Amino acid sequence: MLNQKAPHFSELKKYLDSKKYNFLVLYFYPKDNTPSCTKEACSIRDNFAELEKSKIKIIGVSPDSSESHDKFKTKYELPFQLIPDEDKSLATSYGVWGEKSMYGRKYFGILRKTFIIDSSGKIIRVIDKVDTANHANQILDEMKNNKIF
């Protein structure tokens, strides 16, 4: 998907039309209120001012409901948007719904991955190996190291 147009969804159009941000970071995570997903969200929360200053819009996506997202955002004071993807259509279009394995058991779920999308709607970076506890710094480092800004 790298260097291709990002699959369309309503928030992508709003981002492209707004001109407020130079980049959209779309991060997919498995489930609200789980240890790794909470670390990831809190890493972004704790570095949100720097991300905003860099004109980066953050959107998290999981198969959880809007109600679950609202509770998660309130509990951890998350200042960014979370999108429900209960039918997994967005995850499927970004190629992050797939087979996983835990304790020898195979099942389908969200493959944790982050996409950095530029103001033209093109995917310019993909972070495949997410460091949940340091994800915000990972995003910023990815952009700085690749001279994106």
Query: Which residues are known catalytic residues?
Result: 37
d(C-alpha 81, C-alpha 73), whole Å: 9
CB atoms within 10 A of CB 129: 8
Angle between helices 135-145 and 35-46 (to 10 degrees): 60
Alpha-carbon Rg for the chain, nearest whole angstrom, is: 15
What is the DSSP code (8-state) at residue 92? Answer: H
Enumerate the β-bridge partners of residue 107. Answer: 100
